[in-house]
A = this chain, B = another copy of it.
Amino acid sequence: MLALGRQLCFAVYSAAHAFNRSYKPLLDPHGLTYPQYLVMLSLWQGDGKTVKALGDELGLDSGTLSPLLRRLEQNGYILRARDRSDERQVLATLTERGRDLKREAAGIQRGIGEATGCSLETLSALTAELRELAARMNATEI
């Protein structure tokens, strides 16, 4: 049991690296990293989110998101502005270029699914199990 927990952790750790390596050549031409791509996906889903909302959705804190969003803004994909009604909040909104990227980036996903070499069933089962796993672990105080 001890060894198995350790092995699962390392398997997850290695799989995360494998995904990163697969995404990198697809994202590089757009000047995006994988976490930046996650932010763009979220904004394409619904534009105009606060740093807090993005952090809750992606499981990241401001120490990670602040510089990441600054780089997205420097690349011209988003704008950052304080919310007029609550100046504590910063809203991230897509620029024209950021919206256009959605069409350009449509092909990014194409290769990844194939690279996994999984059937649809395996893909969705694995995803569901990992989600439950992460949820349980985040809920557990050791």
Contacts and interface: CB of A to CB of B under 8 A. Distances in A.
Contacts of A129: 122, 126
One complex includes copies of this chain to the number of: 2
Contacts of A8: 116, 118, 123, 126-127, 130
Nearest to A4: B123
Contacts of A116: 5, 8, 133, 136-137
Interface in A102-142: 109-118, 120, 122-124, 126-127, 129-131, 133-134, 136-138, 140, 142
A97 interface: no
A75 interface: no
A127 B123 CA distance: 14
Contacts of A16: 12-13, 15-16
B12 A12 contact: yes
Interface residues of A, number: 54
A94 interface: no
Contacts of A41: 6
A59 interface: yes
Interface in A1-38: 1-19, 21-23, 25-26, 34, 38
Given A11-B126, A18-B133, A114-B140, 19 more contacts: A1-B113, A4-B113, A4-B120, A5-B109, A5-B123, A6-B112, A8-B127, A9-B23, A11-B130, A13-B34, A13-B38, A14-B59, A15-B137, A18-B137, A18-B138, A22-B142, A117-B133, A117-B137, A126-B130
